[in-house]
């Protein structure tokens, strides 16, 4: 690219980024405005339902409507993917709330309505593939992306029907249905970005026992460096690598299997305490010291502050060409460090703030909850009422244990409250007073279980909005650093509630 062409390109990119930044800022302000307006509801603890008489804090019209509605109506109202139908008119305030939240939220599934921001804030056009990586046999000869693709053509069979059964099987072993869905979806996205950016090396941070890494390496022919903080998980990952290579040796030609790189596993903790130079050295050694080191950073549900740190690492490392992460555990974000990231959040008079309750709620499965309401399984949601009723007993007898994390008990139709209370309290070495467990006051609380479910549903409506705010803040952070990115709903939220992937890439000619 000559100097004049480069200047024109830079000017066009600056204009596009400025426009995108403005749109992101507007969307962020919209989310923040709604969340601030209803913070009294979002920040409420459901276990304080009876302790603080939360039902009476709702507007009277909301209480009357919820009390008269059946659970299927509440489920339809809660679901953002379908138009609700009401037996009788609902208050305009409730209907307007739903519309406001729906319009501000990012889509939660690929088949849902498109968010205007996603259409105007695409990833950049990719450069000609130039990155190279040393082969897995340790020699210094490098292979281009095209050559790597040719030696692992069986990867296409992983996405096919009947031909995929033999090749898919080893990748499914020891993997839950949820994880299977996630790793296959994410692997497809990662491989597409790798091809577009000319990268054949991937750094999988927080790799666990390596399910995604094995699919990327043995399934798609990418060189993968796995970085995991726990040595026991890294050891298990190496064992599973050996198992899958042994299995694949029976179904694909030996020369093709030899061409596939095997994941390398490094035990290290990635965070602010890890210097960037040490990170690059660790990755370079893993990829056998390539002189043309270029890689993508991936993370399947990195916890808490790890996701923001990976974003910062991506921005600062010229060797990092793309980023693909799925968020998780927002309640573990450190205020001011993990959120907000964008300067707009820090510079505005009204700083973006999200309470722990809001961030924790953003991790809940709204689709599963709505489905239970729609399909007549609301009785299974009585567990919220049980916990709120138990909190009243705890506050009366052991006030120092208020809002204490207690053992989770799964509800079933045979589980009665006295049995629930005894199990939960005994796990905390507390002896429940029988007179409180069986009192009329307790029974009166238990009869209000529908109110608890409705209140919980009202709070849960805001969960996708909280997640949207966090994701848009991350997009704006990257955009302000000159990196174009997008948030894409790649996972089925019914299986994986954290369904979005944050995808960013750099133009190789600009880096």
pLDDT digits (tens, 9 = 90+) for 430-469: 988 899 999 999 999 999 999 999 999 999 999 999 999 9
The DSSP call for residue 5 is H
What pLDDT does 64 receive? Answer: 94
What pLDDT does 137 receive? Answer: 36
H or E segment and range at residue 67? helix 60-68
The pTM score is 0.84
**469 contacts 31 by C-beta, under 8 angstroms:** yes
**484 contacts 121 by C-beta, under 8 angstroms:** yes
Q: Hey, which bits of 47-157 come out as E strands?
A: none
Q: Which residue has the tokens 């040796």?
A: 249
Q: CA angle, corner 173, sides to 150 and 239, nearest 5? A: 80
| Mean pLDDT to the nearest integer, 249-262 | 80
What pLDDT does 350 receive? Answer: 52
For residue range 320-369, what is the model confidence (pLDDT) as tens digits?
A: 999 999 988 999 999 889 999 986 544 444 556 899 999 999 999 899 99
For residue range 23-69, what is the model confidence (pLDDT) as tens digits?
A: 888 899 999 999 999 999 999 999 999 999 999 999 999 999 998 89
- The contacts of residue 37 (CB under 8 Å, 6+ apart) are none
Look over the chain and give the mean of its residue pLDDT values, rounded to a whole number.
82
What pLDDT does 252 receive? Answer: 77
Q: Where do the structural domains in the chain lie, given as residue ranges?
A: 30-118+363-460, 145-352+472-505
Give the strands of the sheet with 295-300, arranged side by side.
264-267, 223-228, 201-205, 295-300, 320-326, 500-505, 485-489
Q: Nearest-CA neighbor of 508 among 275, 318, 281?
A: 318
**102 contacts 80 by C-beta, under 8 angstroms:** yes
Domain 145-352+472-505: give its CATH code. Answer: 3.40.50.150
Q: Nearest-CA neighbor of 299 among 501, 107, 14, 140?
A: 501
What are the C-alpha distances in Å from 126 to residues 82, 195, 506? Answer: 36, 9, 8
**153 contacts 223 by C-beta, under 8 angstroms:** no
What pLDDT does 162 receive? Answer: 32
**340 contacts 27 by C-beta, under 8 angstroms:** no
What pLDDT does 3 receive? Answer: 54
| Mean pLDDT to the nearest integer, 492-508 | 88
CA distance 66 to 450: 9
Residue 90 has pLDDT above 80, yes or no: yes
For residue range 372-383, what is the model confidence (pLDDT) as tens digits?
A: 898 878 888 899
For residue range 278-319, what is the model confidence (pLDDT) as tens digits?
A: 999 899 888 875 556 899 999 999 999 999 999 999 999 999
| Mean pLDDT to the nearest integer, 151-179 | 59
Provide the 10 A C-beta neighbour count for residue 113.
Answer: 11
What pLDDT does 255 receive? Answer: 80
């Amino acid at each position: 690219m000559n100097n004049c062409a480069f200047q024109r390109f830079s000017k066009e990119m600056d204009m596009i980024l400025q426009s995108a930044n403005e749109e992101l800022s507007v969307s962020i302000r919209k989310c923040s405005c709604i969340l601030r307006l209803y913070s009294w509801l979002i920040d409420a603890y459901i276990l304080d339902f009876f302790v603080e008489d939360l039902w009476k804090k709702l507007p009277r019209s909301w209480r009357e409507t919820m009390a008269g509605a059946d659970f299927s109506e509440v489920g339809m109202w809660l679901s953002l993917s379908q138009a609700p139908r009401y037996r009788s008119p609902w208050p305009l305030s409730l209907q307007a709330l739903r519309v406001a939240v729906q319009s501000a939220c990012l889509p939660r599934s690929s088949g849902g309505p498109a968010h205007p921001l996603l259409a105007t804030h695409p990833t950049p056009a990719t450069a000609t593939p130039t990155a190279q990586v040393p082969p897995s046999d340790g020699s210094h000869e490098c292979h281009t992306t095209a050559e790597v693709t040719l030696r692992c053509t069986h990867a296409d069979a992983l996405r096919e029907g009947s031909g995929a059964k033999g090749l898919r099987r080893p990748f499914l072993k020891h993997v839950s249905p949820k994880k299977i869905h996630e790793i296959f979806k994410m692997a497809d996205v990662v491989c597409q970005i790798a091809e577009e950016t000319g990268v054949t090396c991937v750094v999988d941070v927080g790799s666990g026992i390596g399910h995604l890494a094995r699919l990327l390496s043995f399934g798609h022919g990418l060189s993968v460096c796995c970085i995991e903080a726990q040595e026991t998980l890294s050891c298990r990952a190496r064992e599973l690598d050996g198992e899958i290579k042994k299995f694949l040796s029976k179904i694909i030609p030996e020369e093709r299997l030899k061409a596939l790189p095997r994941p390398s596993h490094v035990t290290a903790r990635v965070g602010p305490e890890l210097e960037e130079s040490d990170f690059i050295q660790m990755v370079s050694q893993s990829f056998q010291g390539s002189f043309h080191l270029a890689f993508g950073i991936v993370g399947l549900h990195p916890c808490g502050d790890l996701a923001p740190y990976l974003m910062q690492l991506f921005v600062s490392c010229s060797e990092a060409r793309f980023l693909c992460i799925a968020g998780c555990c927002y309640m573990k974000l450190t205020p001011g460090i993990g959120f907000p990231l964008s300067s707009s959040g820090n510079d505005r008079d009204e700083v973006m703030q999200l309470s722990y309750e809001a961030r924790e709620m953003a991790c809940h499965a709204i689709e599963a909850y709505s489905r239970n309401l729609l399909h007549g399984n609301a009785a299974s949601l009585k567990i919220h009422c049980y916990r709120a009723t138990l909190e009243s007993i705890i506050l009366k007898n052991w006030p120092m244990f208020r809002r204490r994390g207690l053992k989770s008990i799964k509800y079933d139709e045979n589980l009665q409250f006295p049995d629930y209370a005894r199990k939960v309290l005994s796990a905390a070495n507390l002896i429940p007073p029988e007179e409180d467990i069986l009192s009329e006051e307790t029974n009166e609380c238990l009869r209000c279980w529908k109110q608890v479910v409705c209140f919980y549903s009202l709070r849960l409506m805001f969960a996708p909005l909280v997640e949207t705010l966090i994701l848009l803040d991350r997009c704006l952070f990257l955009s302000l650093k000159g990196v174009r990115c997008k948030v894409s709903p790649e996972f089925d939220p019914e299986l994986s509630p954290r369904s979005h992937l944050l995808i960013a890439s750099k133009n190789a000619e600009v880096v």
